[in-house]
Structure 1
Amino acid sequence: MTNDESLAARAAWLSYIGGYTQGEIARRLDVSSAKAHRLIGQAHKAGLVRVFIEGAPGECLRFEEEIARRFSLQSCVVAPDIDDDDARGSRFRFAGVGAAAAKRLYAVLEGGNGLTIGLGKGRSLAAMVQNFPRIERPDLKFVSVSGSLTRNLSANPYDIVHNMVERTGGEGYFLPVPYIAASTRERELLIAQKSVADVMELARRADVYVIGVGAVGRDPAIKAHIQQVGMVSDDEWRDLQDKNAVGDIMGCFIDADGLRVDSAINRMTLGLHLEDLKGRRVIAVVGGKDKGQAVLAALRTGAVTDLIIDEGTAASILKIADGEGA
């Protein structure tokens, strides 16, 4: 451990256990107030601090009970909306859901040895990893449930297997193919590779799945994450909109009823299918704006058993469902 790492750990103890203010920590460690602040931030980033909030506002609890009951879920966790100010950036929109998901995954991992966890992708799951503490669990395996690359074969910035391996000391297994192939022919060639087939078989045997849900929005001025990183083209996106797709799970694009839409892109997805998840424990972690319709559709697939969402999405789900008479 370097001197700065040691100071960061000491600053974390003084702050969270000792209750010291930032100024008091600075004086205690003989550093500037600005450095004390940086040390506490460094401790967070290094996973030295685990902060799980045990309580929840009453409104969130009521949402949890209603959504779990209505959609027959094993559990539903609704994180309070922390900040809806776009000027602060997207990181804050996923903070609450990320913290709630980290707490739930930590509890899942504590409950068993030698677990294999199937992991999806996205900003919500990335926020979960950011809030996950460092633990020593070399018995764990983390495996991608969908292609780990973009179409130009660059790494998906929100593929979280590597980061979970860093946090736990477990083993990581990537699916070394694009999230969505460029053609059905390319998909057939890639899926036939032994290395790909082996990882997919491991993913099918996972004990628990933690996945995200993407939204297919209608606003042409707002590009979804998979558009921004080049996973789908603008033409393909317009086709999905024309086919009334509202969301995607592991690259499977679905309509408001949770049914796979008849689009060419659904025949080019590389990874597990929704059918592979049926009857398994599937924790969907969803944060961000305007996800209500997509999450509702995901619930209607019957694949999701546990749901972690933010307060705004919870309200949106119930409002849409009530409006449809669901």
Structure 2
Amino acid sequence: MPPRSGPAKSGAGDRDHLLLRVCQLHYEQHLTQQEVGERLHLTRWQVGRMLKEALAAGIVRIEIVHPQARSHDLETELVTLSTLTEAVVVPTQDDPAATQLAVARAAAEYLADLPTPPRTLAISWGRMMSALASAIPPSWADGVTVVQANGGLSRPGPGDPGSILTAVARQGRGQALFLQAPAIVDSPTLAAALRREPSIAEVLGVARSADVLVFPLGAVSHDSVLVKSGCVLPRDEVLLAERGAVGDIVGRFLDASGALVSPELEARAIGLTLDDVRAAKLSVAVVAGEQKHAVAEACVRAGLCNVLVTDAGTAQVLKHRLAGQSAGQNL
């Protein structure tokens, strides 16, 4: 075998050809880096460096084609068209329940993959968060405090905050901090008194200063958790319809532009405000399904989340609407 002295110095064309040969031998002929080096008189270190260079230059593209793989092109387009710093987009499934589960799992994985695990996580509740709590992996954090971002249910219903916070905290080897108040009460006077109550004020303070805030987006419908739990009364539903509400974030109802639609309901709500959400260090909105397209658009337009975790169908609709707005502004 000839001595391994490294490749002779050559021009750019020879260098490109050498990169091509390294890639072909490794990826097409399935030779190990050691075997490629022996074939081309390179060290294993040189082969590894050239494979990285080929990936960076686009000579080699690695594509994951699993049906649950993320849609990175859509993610990039959403970030480009909005104030989002990051998007996570997974394929839409044939069944809405399966889509919700896939998005919840993606959100759980996003939390688990954060470079620095949060010491404090503020979390809202609902069906999507129940699915996230079931999907979050063990030891996703170490000693995390999981704090309730808005008041809970006035009567038992889907997406119970107690079970959600307990599960997420347990999997993160931490503790849960509950907000012992309903999400929406009967009168502004009662709401104001509850917000002044020291234990509630303390929990809200912890939620405001959390490292990460995660919340689902709720639609305005008879099937929503807030309606089914009795937090939103029939008269409130009429008012929301008249004001053009498209959904809620932590129990705060907004219109298509992301503005609050009802000072009356706002005064009766207990939890983080939209200003608190906008000021969060890292805010992650989790949403799936056709029924949530309008509220997803409102959330992104109003800059109420840094990160959006959603399905490809919602992402496509959002992309087209945001692109249309951008085109209109450029006229």
Question: Is the 8 Å Cα contact of residues 69 and 91 (structure 2) preserved in structure 1?
Answer: no
- Identical-pair percentage: 28
Q: Name the SS for the 2:283 alignment partner.
A: strand
- TM-score, normalised with respect to structure 2: 0.72
Partner Cα distance (2:218, 2:258) in 1: 13
Equivalent in the alignment of 1:134:
138
- Structure with greater Cα Rg: 2
Q: 2:84 aligns with which of 25, 50, 73?
A: 73
Equivalent in the alignment of 1:214:
218
Equivalent in the alignment of 2:168:
164
Question: Is the 8 Å Cα contact of residues 239 and 263 (structure 1) preserved in structure 2?
Answer: no
Structure 2 unaligned spans of 5+: 1-63
Q: Report the CA distance between 1:146 and its aligned residue.
A: 0.3
Q: How does 1:169-208 map to 2 (within 5 A)?
A: 169-208=173-212
Q: Report the CA distance between 1:274 and its aligned residue.
A: 1.5
- Residues 224 and 293 of structure 1: CA distance in aligned 2, closer, same or farther (over 3 Å): same
Q: Name the SS for the 1:135 alignment partner.
A: coil
Question: Is the 8 Å Cα contact of residues 111 and 140 (structure 2) preserved in structure 1?
Answer: no
Q: Deviations over 1:195-231 (max 9, x none)?
A: 10111111111011111111225xxxx5222212222
* One-letter identity of the residue aligned with 2:188: T
Q: Deviations over 1:159-178 (max 9, x none)?
A: 22111122222011010000
Q: Name the SS for the 1:172 alignment partner.
A: strand
Structure 1 unaligned spans of 5+: 1-52, 85-89
Give the root-mean-square deviation of aligned CA atoms: 2.4
Q: Name the SS for the 1:147 alignment partner.
A: coil
Q: 1:96 aligns with which of 99, 102, 112?
A: 102
Equivalent in the alignment of 2:296:
295
Partner Cα distance (1:195, 1:58) in 2: 43
- Residues 320 and 158 of structure 1: CA distance in aligned 2, closer, same or farther (over 3 Å): farther
Q: Report the CA distance between 1:139 and its aligned residue.
A: 1.8
Which piece of structure 1 moves more, 91-100 or 240-249? 91-100
Partner Cα distance (2:67, 2:308) in 1: 16
Q: Name the SS for the 2:291 alignment partner.
A: coil
* One-letter identity of the residue aligned with 2:82: F
Q: 2:154 aligns with which of 146, 151, 156?
A: 151
Which piece of structure 1 moves more, 261-270 or 175-184? 261-270
Q: Report the CA distance between 1:157 and its aligned residue.
A: 3.2
Q: Report the CA distance between 1:278 and its aligned residue.
A: 2.9
Question: Is the 8 Å Cα contact of residues 151 and 182 (structure 1) preserved in structure 2?
Answer: no
Partner Cα distance (2:106, 2:66) in 1: 11
Partner Cα distance (2:207, 2:291) in 1: 30
* One-letter identity of the residue aligned with 2:278: K
Q: Report the CA distance between 1:155 and its aligned residue.
A: 7.1
Equivalent in the alignment of 2:17:
none
Partner Cα distance (2:182, 2:195) in 1: 11
Partner Cα distance (1:139, 1:101) in 2: 20
- TM-score, normalised with respect to structure 1: 0.73
Q: Name the SS for the 1:94 alignment partner.
A: helix
* One-letter identity of the residue aligned with 2:223: K
Question: Is the 8 Å Cα contact of residues 99 and 131 (structure 1) preserved in structure 2?
Answer: yes
Equivalent in the alignment of 2:49:
none
Partner Cα distance (2:101, 2:158) in 1: 20
Q: Deviations over 1:250-271 (max 9, x none)?
A: 1111111111113411211100
Q: Report the CA distance between 1:300 and its aligned residue.
A: 1.9
Question: Is the 8 Å Cα contact of residues 293 and 314 (structure 2) preserved in structure 1?
Answer: yes
- Residues 136 and 317 of structure 1: CA distance in aligned 2, closer, same or farther (over 3 Å): closer
* One-letter identity of the residue aligned with 2:238: R
Q: Deviations over 1:99-141 (max 9, x none)?
A: 1111101012x524x6101111122222112111122855211
Q: Report the CA distance between 1:59 and its aligned residue.
A: 8.7
Equivalent in the alignment of 2:116:
111
Q: How does 1:257-268 map to 2 (within 5 A)?
A: 257-268=257-268
Question: Is the 8 Å Cα contact of residues 181 and 194 (structure 2) preserved in structure 1?
Answer: yes
* One-letter identity of the residue aligned with 1:77: V
